[in-house]
Amino acid sequence: MNNTKNTITEIRKMLEVFLKLKSMFPDIMLGGSVALMLMGRMTLRTPKDLDIVTSNKSTLKAITLKNQKGSIASASEVSKTGQIDGVNVDVFYQENPKRETVEFQDVQYPALSRNEIVMAKMRYALKGSTPSSMKHKQDLVNYLTLELEADKNTVSDLTL
């Protein structure tokens, strides 16, 4: 129970950082594990970082991060990583992202669609056997387990 309480406290802290940024950059949305957990598509765990997605390159440039580790740029993604108020933050640029709305404690948050988050996790999981790729592999197993369980429950609900 205490671990769940700590996880929720950490997620709240991350969402406070998100809302602070959202007040300055209205186009941003949640991504990654935090969004999947809020969607109920992943078991609660303490997130390593807060993933933020923007479709505006000016927003990506304007967001200031402490301890910025440099920008990552490739043909498929541009991002930067660092900290805001002690929270590890990764900011990603994505053209034409599909959006969903998630709710946590009566607050609605814009989020990248679960399918796009899962596809990103798949790309990272396939990058080898680094600790980061292993975390993404475990997240995918967790996600698929919950999805299969939901499908099983849906089918059994229809059985007379």
CATH number for the domain harbouring residue 12: 3.30.460.40
Give the residue, 111 or 124, on which the prediction is more confident: 111
Q: Which of 67-76, 111-120, 127-136, 141-150 has the highest mean pLDDT?
A: 111-120
Q: What is the DSSP string of the chain?
A: -HHHHHHHHHHHHHHHHHHHHHHH-TT-EEEHHHHHHHTT-S-----S-EEEEES-HHHHHH---BT---EEE-SS-EEEEEEETTEEEEEEE-SS--EEEEEETTEEEEEE-HHHHHHHHHHHHTT-SSHHHHHHHHHHHHHHHHHHHHHHHHHHHH--
121 occurs within a structural domain? no
Closest by CA position to 88, among listed 66, 72, 104: 66
As a whole number, mean pLDDT of residues 24-43 equals: 92
As a whole number, mean pLDDT of residues 30-50 equals: 90
109 occurs within a structural domain? yes
The single-letter code of the amino acid at 110 is P
pTM of the model: 0.80
Closest by CA position to 104, among listed 159, 38, 56: 38
Domain span including residue 95: 2-113
153 occurs within a structural domain? no
As a whole number, mean pLDDT of residues 104-121 equals: 91
pLDDT digits (tens, 9 = 90+) for 42-75: 888 889 999 999 999 999 999 999 987 766 555 4
139 occurs within a structural domain? no
Predicted pLDDT at 62: 92
